[in-house]
Amino acid sequence: MRIIADLPELKRADVNRCWLPPVELCQLAGLDDASAQEVRNLLSNASLAGLIPFERAGRAKTSPKLYSATGAAMLRTVWEMTRSGRSYEFVAPVAHVIGEMMGALVENLPRIDDLDRADGLSHLVIYACDGNGQIVDVRQVTDRSLAPRSLLGDHGGFDVGVVFAGEIVWNVLRHYPDFWRRDLAQRTAARRRSLYRGADPDGNPLDPDHPFNRDRPAVDRARRLLEIEEFIEALMEREVSE
């Protein structure tokens, strides 16, 4: 999916990659006051309950948690549903479906504008409950029909809820460039630094400060540094295209 002209095409792996710190996750989810106790409790409880995927920044159990863009959509879902009285257990399958839906939309829709439907009824997620208040059916609806039979399905119950999941996903994706652009720049710089520690196809070091490159006559050294930059640039362009 293309979300903005000056950035690469967004892939499912990009929205599932955990790199966002908690404050930025909450900002991306539209919960801007990330320092508020209510939001901190929400994020902590949802993470512990397994509702939002995360990875640790390090190997220690106390290492900071990092989250994904998919996690932001799931967090917004949790926020919307729990503040109306639903439990974390209740919300879990709905958040999971919306997380999967986000990945599929990014993978299958060419542009973010394809999510911005005027009627607001496309890309809904419907959940239905039994007599005990337990979810028995969660599914995505992509047509524009809200006929009762379409909503009720085959589970036999009449307690049905609708989440405007497409709106949640669209709001996350349209703000994602503000965060992703910085992340791409940092990862590109880190990758470039790592390549300088390698060698060219002839086995010669790429580090400009290696004696092989540093201790050359001025003109020869300038020529060698240009070769290094051209080689690294071509390698990075090839990696991006792949």
Residues 51-98 pLDDT 10s = 999 999 888 888 999 999 999 999 999 999 998 888 999 999 999 999
Query: Span 4-15, mean pLDDT?
Result: 91
Asked which of 146, 178, 210 is the last residue of a domain, the reply is: 178
- 51 occurs within a structural domain: yes
- 186 occurs within a structural domain: no
Tell me whether strands 65-67 and 54-56 are parallel, antiparallel or unpaired. Answer: antiparallel
Domain count for the chain: 2
Q: For Cα atoms 97, 94, 111, give the angle at the middle one, nearest 5 degrees.
A: 45
> Based on the domain organization, do 151 and 201 belong to the same domain?
no
> Based on the domain organization, do 158 and 97 belong to the same domain?
yes
Question: What pLDDT score does 118 carry?
Answer: 47
- 7 occurs within a structural domain: no
Q: What is the mean pLDDT of the chain?
A: 85
Which residues pair with residue 128 across a beta bridge? 137, 160
Residue with token string 């995927």: 53
pTM of the model: 0.77
Residue 219 tokens read as: 């003109």
- 146 occurs within a structural domain: yes
Residue 148 in this model has a pLDDT that exceeds 60: no
> Based on the domain organization, do 136 and 213 belong to the same domain?
no
Cα 92 → chain centroid: 18
> Based on the domain organization, do 19 and 54 belong to the same domain?
yes
> Based on the domain organization, do 150 and 86 belong to the same domain?
yes
Cα 221 → chain centroid: 43
Coil, strand, or helix at residue 167?
Answer: helix
- 200 occurs within a structural domain: yes
> Based on the domain organization, do 106 and 213 belong to the same domain?
no
Q: Residue 5 carries which side chain, given as an amino acid letter?
A: A
Residue 237 tokens read as: 């362009």
**Chain segment 198-219, per-residue pLDDT in tens:** 999 999 999 999 999 999 999 9
> Based on the domain organization, do 152 and 228 belong to the same domain?
no
- 188 occurs within a structural domain: no
**Chain segment 22-47, per-residue pLDDT in tens:** 999 999 999 977 668 888 889 999 99
> Based on the domain organization, do 212 and 150 belong to the same domain?
no
Cα 18 → chain centroid: 7
Q: Which domain holds residue 19?
A: 12-178
Distance between CA atoms of residues 144 and 152, nearest Å: 15
Distance between CA atoms of residues 216 and 106, nearest Å: 50
